[in-house]
Amino acid sequence: MIDQLHHTEQADRYSRQERYAPLGREGQAKLSDSKVLIIGAGALGTGIAETLVRSGVGQITIVDRDYVEWSNLQRQQLYVEQDAIERIPKAMAAAKRLSAINSTVQIEAKVMDVRVDELEELIGNTDLIMDATDNFDTRLLINDMAQKHQIPWIYGGCVGSYGITYTFLPGDTPCLNCLLGEVPLGGDTCDTSGIIPQAVQMVTANQTAEAMKLLSGNSAALRRKLLSFDVWRNEYISINVDGAKKQDCASCSPVATYPFLSSSNLEKTDVLCGRDTVQIRPARRQQLDLQLTAERLQRLEEGKVEINPFLVSFTTGDHRLVIFQDGRVLVHGTNDTAEARSLVHRYFG
Ligand SMILES: [Zn+2]
């Protein structure tokens, strides 16, 4: 009896959306049949994921290279204090919360740095890519991949009280490469400039509204303009960028060469903006035995070793090194790539 009651109530889950005429039952059915790839599980990624999961998209893949820290809790809406205490990778913490919100959505979490090979693997039969990254390196990679596979993607960026978003439709709108240098894009989230959550929420509200239009078969309702705003200064601007489409664009024209997909297999070093942190990514992805790694570091007796199922943290002197299963290391306490590299080679070979 109780089960039956629950079942009837659950059938009501999307009733308010289905009553919204432009969506209706038909639109809802299309939503539940769609697959979305979310790149990044920071402020934008958690906001996007929560809205899409609540609204009943069929499948979500969420990917992120980092773990939860206390400074994230102010705006990254899926995380709780325990995630920061345990340094749970964002993708895993997000997936756990998302499954609790809506168990009918198929949710896949990936702890990885998204470069060419990873993106090619992840893209599968994705209907839409949501940009929740904080850097143009990754966005240009997403842009080329989206053009190559003809998959729409929705750009989002924010910093301070400022936000920006645009919906890229391959074969229709200009691409990100077309817009570079033509339109002020900005929107890189550098922690040093600070950020207020409302700027994030405005961006994700616009990104997910566009996503719902696209996935429910309401493409005619898409905004088609680049939107930027400042919620503190009360400025809202939308710009028609159709004229920026380049006939000979290397990413979206008939002669496209997808320049941002040419991968190099070298060890890669990134300074993480405003974080006093360097990421070192090995030439090849690995499958590390974290337990063995922790034991080896323990034996050195040169610092404090902590482990959870996803990473090992090693604090030595003024530095903290965090190594993930895929062999990536985050070196906290420096912006100097040479120093970071020498620490990594010293402790991890
Ligand atoms: Zn282009």
Q: What is the pLDDT of residue 167?
A: 98
pTM of the complete model = 0.87
Q: How far is the CA of 152 from the centre of ligand 1 (A)?
A: 13
Lowest mean pLDDT among 8-17, 110-119, 137-146: 8-17
What are the backbone angles phi and psi of residue 281, rounded to the nearest 5°? -115, 125
pLDDT exceeds 70 at position 265: no
Q: What is the pLDDT of residues 279-312, one digit of tens each?
A: 988 877 778 889 999 998 998 889 999 999 999 9
Specify whether the backbone of 334 is left (phi greater than 0), alpha (psi in -120 to 50) or beta: beta
Q: How far is the CA of 8 from the centre of ligand 1 (A)?
A: 49
Q: How far is the CA of 267 from the centre of ligand 1 (A)?
A: 29
Q: What is the pLDDT of residues 44-90, one digit of tens each?
A: 999 999 999 999 999 999 999 999 999 999 999 999 999 999 999 99
Residue 266 or 233, more confident: 233
What are the backbone angles phi and psi of residue 147, rounded to the nearest 5°? -65, -45
Lowest mean pLDDT among 80-94, 191-205, 224-238, 303-317: 191-205
Q: How many CB atoms are located within 10 Å of the residue 264 CB?
A: 9
- Residue 262: pLDDT band with limits 50, 70, 90: confident
Q: How far is the CA of 228 from the centre of ligand 1 (A)?
A: 20
Mean pLDDT score of the chain: 91
Q: How far is the CA of 262 from the centre of ligand 1 (A)?
A: 17
Q: How far is the CA of 176 from the centre of ligand 1 (A)?
A: 6
Q: How far is the CA of 10 from the centre of ligand 1 (A)?
A: 44
- Tell me whether strands 226-230 and 235-239 are parallel, antiparallel or unpaired: antiparallel
Q: How far is the CA of 36 from the centre of ligand 1 (A)?
A: 23
Residue 324 class from Cβ within 10 Å (0-12 exposed, 13-18 middle, 19+ buried)?
A: buried
pLDDT exceeds 60 at position 188: no
Q: How far is the CA of 145 from the centre of ligand 1 (A)?
A: 12
Q: What is the pLDDT of residues 327-339, one digit of tens each?
A: 899 999 999 888 8
Q: How far is the CA of 65 from the centre of ligand 1 (A)?
A: 28
Nearest to 158 by CA among 201, 94, 212: 201
- Residue 189: pLDDT band with limits 50, 70, 90: very low
Q: What is the pLDDT of residue 291?
A: 92
Q: How far is the CA of 134 from the centre of ligand 1 (A)?
A: 21
Q: How far is the CA of 239 from the centre of ligand 1 (A)?
A: 17
Q: How far is the CA of 148 from the centre of ligand 1 (A)?
A: 11
Residues 182 and 175: their CA atoms lie apart, in Å, by 12
Residues 15 and 20: their CA atoms lie apart, in Å, by 9
Q: What is the pLDDT of residue 101?
A: 98
pLDDT exceeds 70 at position 190: no
- Residue 4: pLDDT band with limits 50, 70, 90: low
Q: How far is the CA of 348 from the centre of ligand 1 (A)?
A: 41
Residue 159 or 36, more confident: 36
Q: How far is the CA of 252 from the centre of ligand 1 (A)?
A: 4
Q: What is the pLDDT of residue 72?
A: 95
Q: How far is the CA of 256 from the centre of ligand 1 (A)?
A: 8
Q: What is the pLDDT of residues 113-137, one digit of tens each?
A: 998 999 999 998 999 999 999 888 8
pLDDT exceeds 50 at position 5: yes
DSSP E strands in the chain: the ranges are 35-39, 59-64, 106-111, 128-131, 153-159, 162-168, 226-230, 235-239, 268-272, 277-281, 304-308, 311-316, 319-324, 329-332
